[in-house]
Amino acid sequence: MFSGELRRTIIDVQKRRNLQTDESQIRKVIQFYETMLIRHGVMLVGPTLGGKTTVYRILSDTLTDLHANKVDYHFYQPVHTYVLNPKSITAGELYGEFNKTTMEWKDGLMGSSVRQCVQDQSHDHHWIICDGRFCLNVIKI
């Protein structure tokens, strides 16, 4: 039952985003959805401009819409995304680093994002997304 509703909502989101309704893209969104059901971390890999960002955005909007439309399924919850570009910062800025001069630890963006996500006690999804050039990592909190 929910797969038909899922597919219809994906198509609605594509239209709302002024995208063509494309069967291969719908399949990719559904494959991403099915993977997110059983994994906490997912990597989408493909060429530049291959649609990785579009796929996660469509699924994010779809899950949020299904929840707003009161479709009863535990995975249909609003999605909050935290997008990082790991290639634009140093490893220390991303993960955190120890300052040998001051002997203090400084959190990176990843740690700060995870901390912010786990503070929310709702059932909403929180996705930390590392959107690089050839791959996109989604960490579901």
**Tokens matching residue 115:** 């901390």
Model confidence at 70, pLDDT cuts 50, 70, 90, reads: very high
Predicted TM-score (pTM) of the model is 0.87
Say yes or no to pLDDT of 45 above 90: no
**Tokens matching residue 18:** 């002024």
Model confidence at 7, pLDDT cuts 50, 70, 90, reads: very high
Quick one: CATH architecture of 2-140?
3-Layer(aba) Sandwich (3.40)
> Can you tell me the distance from the alpha carbon of 59 to that of 83, in angstroms, rounded to the nearest whole number?
15
**Across residues 77-85, what is the average pLDDT?**
93
Through-space distance between the first and last CA atoms of the chain, rounded to whole angstroms: 27
Model confidence at 1, pLDDT cuts 50, 70, 90, reads: very low
